[in-house]
A and B are shown apart, each in its own frame.
Chain A
Amino acid sequence: MHEIGAAFQMVFDPYNLWVMFAASLFGLFVGAVPGLTATMATALLVPVTFFMAPIPAIAAIVSATAMAIFAGDVPGCLLRMPGTPASAAYTDEAYAMTRKGQTELALGAGLVFSAIGGLFGTAVLIVAAPALADFALRFSSFEYFWLVLLGLSCAIVITSERPLKGMVSLILGLLVACVGLGNPAGFPRFTFGSTELMGGIGLIPMMIGMFAVSEIIRYAVDTSPQMLIVDQPIGNVFKGMWTLTKRYPLQIFRGNVVGTLVGALPGAGADIAAWMSYAISKKFSKEPEKFGTGHVEGIVESGSANNSALAGAWIPALVFGIPGDSITAIVIGVLYMKNMNPGPTLFTQNPQNIYAVYLLFIVANILMIPLGWLCIKAAKQILRVPRNVLMPLILLFCIVGTFAINNTVFDVGVMLIAGVAAYVLEENGFPSAPAILGVVLGGMLEENFISSMIKSDGNLLGFFSRPIAASLGALTLSAWFLPPVIRRLRRLAGA
């Protein structure tokens, strides 16, 4: 019991509350400005959290991302431009509502059901994570090997239109993870005599490059015309929310469940959760013909899905060290820096830290209601911030932030290369999520692969010798081979 008390003390410490408040404002701003994403907010926070204690560091990321995902809805309503990719699924719908004069309803639904989604995802995290951790305590290298491989396979299957391109991304990520001394044999690989490469390619510079610098590049070369802000007064956004709750209880619940599940799947985060929920909502709606014309039902469902996905993504991240989305991929890097290595032992050795994480999520999602309301009030001012002034400043912040981690300009070079590479690859249909998972999980995959090989004396059948490992292995193989088989069968059935 005293662990819960300790968690309360850490979370309601004045410094921590101040950090949450500041990070929330930062998250709302980043989310509301089109072209700045929630993942970018996380990447930009890392250099600052580097200098904080573990709980405030996590608090900053949790509050900023929750707020950013909600705030992404705001420019969708007013500019027809999603503030973050997680709002892209229903941007047209929200804008159509604005043109019908229902801005308040669209923004209110985004805000209230975002908070509900976040709280639902947190509840699942609180229930599922310790149970999974308990189960995972019995895992050996065989189970972990399959688990990581299963996670990586999911990331490829879910996130890319063409699995081949996702696979290439993943392999490039895994190769990057091979650089340096950090392998079971402790042999310097691919360092070419460089002392800087001995320690491997820094995770944080790479993430800042992939998620912040690449967005700045995308802005610099964006040729789409300037959007005009819809100029109409915004009234009471909370009006009619209770009616919506009573009218769409099933949709809210379904959005929450789908969001949490998609979030928990490695590689897929809030944006994919929103797309899937919107599609499901339309498919099962009693009035699907209204979708796209400014109908609130889809916003209710997918608006809650993207926020519940945020919390869901933390489940595999905390229990197994396998990120559920690109935000938690960065979080895992932060956890390692703070000596809070993710894994089942995190739940047994320092439970007060885990309780504190739960509390942070609850506080952040409750805080979202008043701060989100303020953000909506200030929306027009935020959207007028000139992005051509903002982007160069963000780049300087990225450079200094990257430098701050190890005090070397070598890392700034890593950041630039990662940014350009991510931009070129994304332009050509290679998704970046599998690459980042490959970088984060490469070491873990190799370590468990090598120790399993040694234990089984090089016999691959040994990987199936334990019941849980065998099931995970079967699941992984079916993730590889089922989709093409199903596609072929469908084609045969259609022909």
Chain B
Amino acid sequence: MKINDAVFGVLLLALGIAVLWHVQSFPRIPGQNVGPALFPGSIAVGLIVCALLLIVSGIRSHARARWFEGLPWMRSSRHVSAFAALILATLAYILFSTSVGFLIVAPLGLVAMLIAFGVRRGTAIVVAIVGTIVIWYAFYKLLRVPLPWGVLERFAF
């Protein structure tokens, strides 16, 4: 998405002010004029200055660049679903891999993504299963990464 500089500026300004406000609660070290707040505080001041400059330049260019502007891919359902599948598959992994298990979540996520990316159904299922097994074998067996078993815990080996 194309976002006007001024919109970024406002968001960054809010972030800068929030950081500056938050660091006031950091402890001061007695007898010293430096503390944990000094560095993030100075950065926040820099951020606020940059944000103001962005707002000015964004407002100046507003005639040419609207506040928000969609990119060509956002009007194509194929690309939108590819993007959504990518994000949702990763989110699903974060939320469910521990409880449900790698060997179930990974191939389902892969199938969803492959189909959204335009791979044929049959191919997608085969690739997802083989891909999951190869990655599982490489990381779980060879590199000994404890990929979660989830509901398959009873069959763990």
Contacts and interface: CB of A to CB of B under 8 A. Distances in A.
Contacts of B135: 393, 396-397, 400
A412 B90 contact: yes
Contacts of B131: 392-393, 396
B127 A389 contact: yes
Contacts, number: 154
Interface of B: 1-3, 5, 8, 12, 15, 19, 22-23, 26-27, 29, 32-36, 38-40, 43-44, 46-47, 50-51, 53-54, 57, 71-73, 76, 79, 82-83, 85-87, 89-91, 93-94, 97-98, 102, 106, 109-110, 113-114, 117-119, 123, 127, 131-132, 135, 139, 143, 145-147
Given A409-B97, A427-B1, 12 more contacts: A175-B43, A221-B83, A223-B72, A388-B119, A392-B110, A392-B113, A392-B127, A395-B86, A407-B145, A445-B39, A453-B33, A454-B32
A474 interface: no
B104 to A, nearest CB: 13
Nearest 10 A/B pairs, CB to CB: A388-B117, A392-B113, A221-B73, A220-B82, A187-B36, A185-B36, A404-B145, A446-B39, A178-B40, A458-B33
A400 B114 CA distance: 18
B132 A396 contact: yes
Contacts of A358: none
Nearest to A173: B43
Interface of A: 47-48, 51, 164, 167-168, 171-172, 174-175, 178, 183-185, 187, 189-190, 213, 216-217, 220-223, 386, 388-389, 391-393, 395-397, 399-401, 403-404, 407, 409, 412-413, 415-416, 420, 424, 427-428, 445-446, 449-450, 453-454, 458
Given A175-B43, A409-B94, A404 B79 contact: no
7 contacts: A171-B43, A175-B19, A184-B36, A220-B117, A393-B135, A396-B135, A404-B143
B28 to A, nearest CB: 10
A407 B143 CA distance: 12
A168 B12 contact: yes
A418 to B, nearest CB: 12
B36 A403 contact: no
Contact of A409 (B71, B98, B127, B139): B98
A260 B72 CA distance: 39
Contact of A187 (B27, B33, B57, B147): B27
B113 A420 contact: no
Given A409-B98, A427-B1, A189 B26 contact: yes
Given A185-B29, A388-B119, A424-B1, A164 B83 contact: no
Q: Which among A187, A415, A424 has the highest number of chain B CB atoms within 10 Å?
A: A187
Contact of B54 (A51, A168, A174): A168
A453 B38 contact: yes
Given A409-B93, A413-B94, A393 B32 contact: no
A11 to B, nearest CB: 23
Given A164-B50, A171-B47, A446-B39, A386 B119 contact: yes
Contacts of A424: 1, 3
Contacts of B87: 416, 420
A164 to B, nearest CB: 6
A409 B99 CA distance: 12
Contacts of B22: 190
Contact of B83 (A185, A217, A392, A400): A217
